[in-house]
Amino acid sequence: MKPLKQSKLVSKLLLRHRSNNRLWLSLVALFAGTTLLLIAVMIWWNFSLILNGSANNDSLGSTFLTVGKNVTNETMGKKNATLFAPREIEAVNAAPQVEDVGVLIANKFPVYASLSIAQGFATDMFLEAVPERFMDNKPFGWMWEPGNTQVPIILSSDFLNMYNYGFAPSQNLPQLSQSTIQALAFDLTIGRGIYVEHYTGRVVGFSDRISSVLVPQSFIEYGNKTFAPTTPIAPSRLIVKVKDPSDKRFADFLKKNDYTTNSEQLRWNKMRSVIEAVASGTGLLAILLMGIGTLVFILFIELTIAKAKQSLSLLLLMGYSPRYLAMFMLRRFVPLIFVSLGMAAIIAIVLQGIAAKKLIAMNLTLPDLPGMWVWAALIVSAVALLIFVSRAIFNSLRGSE
């Protein structure tokens, strides 16, 4: 006689009455719900990556902002009105999301730059210095001490762009590459009247972060002490390291104190509210769908068990243990749950890959695979589903004894 598998017999007795339509419906709902949940987490996660400036997205997520006081018609006339007092610097330091504050110190002495190889190229100018920890790159030779005749300079890339795309074409001057500028030596004259000193300035690098002409801090300090010993040294601009510049609380802090900053970065906080709304809307919908899916799935199992009640109690009478029967049901149905969650995970992986590829074109880097938070969401929903389903199975089996 042909041998019959026990599981086949039990399945014939218990699952004969199952409604496959309900099963498919619940699995589709679970799949759609999980997919949406993962997408919601991915939206949130990817945008925090971009906004927090991880993954080399300096252009958006630049965590360094220069903050100044707004120049208004009221402050225009007053001297020192836009300078930061130590108390105010403290307050900025304590503001939401702020991790570090540095001061931009400007020269209090005249600076005159000229280019000896190009007659007539000469200008009055300003210099600033920031603590080194705020610089995006510290070029080789970035140091100065009294007695050195060479002064290294870091120029804002914006200035070079302004020259190359604005000034040079309009004045019929040649455009200059970064390496050409770096090859030039400027004559720097500092001081006034007979009290002057001469230095050779050399551009050693360019900065995307700070819109200024930077020299080592020691040089500014030396100049201010030598040529303007009585002028109080208060910074007019601060450089602030911000964890998440899109945080509304940080934006509110600036607004409340009437501070200005490179407002480009702060635009992201509006974007962020939109993204958060989208992510939470999707998340809510996802949870709703998953809830419905789980409910239908549990109802399906309960109905299947209720329909097989007679066979079930007879099996128990034969000596089949409730645990064996519960495990049998779990083994039958849990893989289906995992298949739908697995499919959702595959979709999440594919979407992340596509998003990463698309954003490369926008100069943003995202990881090719969904991160820990996405997997955590998947694991949490899998565990929750498992708990709900196994409880439903054990409870309905207990009811049929």
Partner 1 sequence: MRLSIDHIVPIPMKDKINEYNSRVWNQQLQFNSGEKLFIQAPSGTGKTTLVHFLYGLRKDYEGSIRWGSFKMQDIDNEQLSQLRAASISVIFQDMRLFPELTTWENLEVKRRLTNTVSEYDAEKWMDKLGIKHKMDSPASKLSYGEQQRVAIVRAMLQPFEWLVMDEPFSHLDHANRQRAIALINEVAEMNKAGILLADLDDNDYFTYTRKLLL
Q: Which of residues 64-93 bind partner 1 (CB under 8 A)?
A: none
Q: Which of residues 256-315 bind partner 1 (CB under 8 A)?
A: 311, 314-315
Least distance CB 319 / partner 1 (angstroms): 3
Least distance CB 320 / partner 1 (angstroms): 6
Q: Which of 316, 330, 351, 382 binds partner 1 (CB under 8 A)?
A: 316
**CB closer to partner 1 out of 209 and 332:** 332
Interatomic CA distance for residues 254 and 351, integer angstroms: 37
Interatomic CA distance for residues 206 and 227, integer angstroms: 28
Least distance CB 307 / partner 1 (angstroms): 12
**CB closer to partner 1 out of 198 and 391:** 391
Calculate helix-pair angle for 322-360, 6-14, nearest 10 degrees: 90
Candidate ranges 64-72, 200-208, 280-288, 319-327; the one touching partner 1 (CB under 8 A): 319-327
Q: Does 317 bind partner 1 (CB under 8 A)?
A: yes
**CB closer to partner 1 out of 145 and 401:** 401
Candidate ranges 111-119, 175-183, 259-267, 316-324; the one touching partner 1 (CB under 8 A): 316-324
Least distance CB 311 / partner 1 (angstroms): 6
Strand ranges (DSSP E) for 126-258? 128-129, 150-156, 185-192, 195-207, 213-214, 237-242
Strand ranges (DSSP E) for 57-149? 64-69, 98-106, 111-114, 122-125, 128-129
**CB closer to partner 1 out of 138 and 398:** 398
Q: Does 12 bind partner 1 (CB under 8 A)?
A: yes
Asked if 115 contacts 103 with a C-beta cutoff of 8 angstroms, the reply is no
Q: Does 393 bind partner 1 (CB under 8 A)?
A: no
Least distance CB 399 / partner 1 (angstroms): 12
Asked if 55 contacts 49 with a C-beta cutoff of 8 angstroms, the reply is yes
Asked if 397 contacts 326 with a C-beta cutoff of 8 angstroms, the reply is yes
Q: Which of 11, 13, 112, 114 binds partner 1 (CB under 8 A)?
A: 13
Q: What angle do CA 186, 190, 191 make, to 5 degrees?
A: 160
Asked if 63 contacts 241 with a C-beta cutoff of 8 angstroms, the reply is yes
Asked if 1 contacts 313 with a C-beta cutoff of 8 angstroms, the reply is no
Q: Does 391 bind partner 1 (CB under 8 A)?
A: no
Least distance CB 387 / partner 1 (angstroms): 21
Q: Is residue 182 exposed (0-12), middle (13-18) or buried (19+ Cβ within 10 Å)?
A: middle
Closest CA to 239 of 109, 133, 160: 133
Q: Does 162 bind partner 1 (CB under 8 A)?
A: no
Q: Which of 249, 267, 323, 331 binds partner 1 (CB under 8 A)?
A: 323
**CB closer to partner 1 out of 192 and 398:** 398
Q: Does 346 bind partner 1 (CB under 8 A)?
A: no
**AA identity, residue 317:** L
Residue 189: CB atoms within 10 Å: 17
Q: Does 120 bind partner 1 (CB under 8 A)?
A: no
- Binding positions for partner 1, rule: CB under 8 A: 1, 3-6, 9-10, 12-13, 16, 311, 314-324, 401
